[in-house]
Amino acid sequence: MKENFRFNIAYDGTRYYGWEHQPNIDMTIQGKLENVLARMVDAPVEVIGAGRTDAGVHARAMVANAFLETDLSEEEIRDYMNRYLPDDICINEVKRAGDRFHSRYNALGKTYCYTCYVGATKPVFDRKYVYVLEQAPDVEKMRLGAEYLMGEHDFASFCSNPRMKKSTVRKVDQIDIRQKGDYLVLTFHGTGFLQHMVRILTGTLLEVGFGKRTPESMAELIEAKNRALAGPTAPAQGLCMMQVDYH
């Protein structure tokens, strides 16, 4: 009989075309997971992720689930997957879950972290995981701008999908911006995020930090519901999914 298993997954997204499997593209996170699990149980497997990270985006704790028919223990499943998955994907934990657990629909909130590098030299060993800035932005102005973005709003101005049929209303309850040495770290927590939303929020807040727009203009951007008026989409490599919340 099939049982529902919950996975906690870390991955370096550099080589991948994002989470979601795509036709004729082997290099997706979901595709790699499904291939290994299908080999393990000798049957097709569908892996459901808590979110769909974009190409080049990383995760420290993506959550996914899949129904499997297997006699293996949770630890044996974890070890089997880690043996056959590429070195840039790791299964941190495998747990049995109730039949009704759905990694995406049951998620209550998500935390993303975006890291910029503002040092004078090159971040040789972190270059795949940071956005290198040519100058340091004004962090205090960025924080003032972020205050306008917190709460429940229509974030259509910060969504890269112009054909979005579902609601673009989301609740962002934390935007923490702090500099730690040569690194500027933006942490976002909310109920959910639209396509490229965290990267567009980051690109727009950086423009505030560079004096290209005022903190107060964030309120106008929300009202405008127009992606063309917001800032650029920050590069993928600086973004990492940190946590998914459940009951």
For the chain, percent of residues with pLDDT exceeding 90: 94
3-class DSSP state for residue 61?
strand
Look up the CATH number of the domain holding residue 196: 3.30.70.660
Known catalytic membership, residue 154: no
The confidence band for 4, taking pLDDT boundaries of 50, 70 and 90, is very high
- pLDDT at residue 109 is higher than 90: yes
Q: Per-residue pLDDT tens for 158-212? A: 999 877 778 999 999 999 999 999 999 999 999 999 999 999 999 999 999 999 9
CA separation (Å) from 180 to 121, 187, 204? Answer: 15, 13, 21
Confidence band of 22 (pLDDT split at 50, 70, 90): confident
Reply yes or no on whether the pLDDT at 32 is more than 90: yes
Q: Which residue has the tokens 């949770």?
A: 74
Q: Is the domain of 114 the same as that of 169? A: yes
- Tell me if residue 137 falls in helix, strand or coil: coil
Whether residues 73 and 128 fall in one domain: no
Rounded CA gap, 65 and 101, in Å? 8
**Exposed (0-12), middle (13-18) or buried (19+): which is 162, by Cβ within 10 Å?**
exposed
Statement to judge: residues 233 and 146 lie in one domain: yes
Active-site hit among 12, 26, 42, 54? 54
Domain residue limits at 237: 109-245
**How many domains, in total, are found in the chain?**
2
Angle subtended at Cα 245 by Cα 179 and Cα 129, rounded to the nearest 5 degrees: 40
Quickly state the pLDDT bin for 98 (edges 50, 70, 90): very high
Are 164 and 189 in the same domain?
A: yes
Tell me the β-bridge partners of 154: 169
